[in-house]
Amino acid sequence: MKSQTTKDLEQCALNTFKKMGTFLCFEVGINIEQEAFPIWYERALKYSKQLNIVPPEKTNREITEIVDLLTWEKRKDIWRCYEIKSSIQDFNSGHHITFVGDYNYYIMPSELYEKVKDKIPSYVGVYVPQGRWLISVKKATIQELLVDKDVLQYSLMKSLYRDVEKMRKKLKKFEK
């Protein structure tokens, strides 16, 4: 169940990042194949040490990571991953941080940012809400994609289709 803070942050993100030529979707499942796993695992270990959380277990199978918000700016072919954190408990929860994009960000309340800013890796940017929008308080630096662009495109399309089907089911209820 999402907290009201998370819902508010999602709405601010939608207001801020929804623009022509940019595709976006919340809760995108990205299948990371075994060959990409060592890179992902190495980075996950690094995050877990920096954030002082329990590292993920290493397994020999395909895994699905969920990024809270994925955007693709088609014209520039730029992938951005956003992790939404609503509280200090959420930030320290140990949930996976899926930073596999060209640019990677946290979206969080200003008060939370002030408490955790020293724990955020140097290449990860941060957005905080200001009214109905998000503003950047820390810029991200470009990183090498950790998964193939085709995997990201497929994951985005799959998740967008899921959302269309959810909406279709809701609309069917109103038709009766």
pLDDT digits (tens, 9 = 90+) for 51-104: 666 665 655 556 778 999 999 999 999 999 999 999 999 998 866 678 999 999
- For the beta sheet containing 78-84, the strands, ordered from the edge strand earlier in sequence to the opposite edge, are 22-32, 63-73, 78-84, 103-107, 125-130, 133-138
> Of 168, 162, 117, 112, which is closest to residue 138 (Cα–Cα)?
117
Give the residues across from 106 on adjacent strands: 83, 126
Rounded Cα–Cα distance for residues 67 and 30 (Å): 8
pLDDT digits (tens, 9 = 90+) for 91-123: 988 666 789 999 999 999 999 999 999 999 999
By CB atoms closer than 10 A (0-12, 13-18, 19+), residue 128 is buried
Q: What number of residues does the chain have?
A: 176
Q: Which residue is it, tokens 């207001």?
A: 15
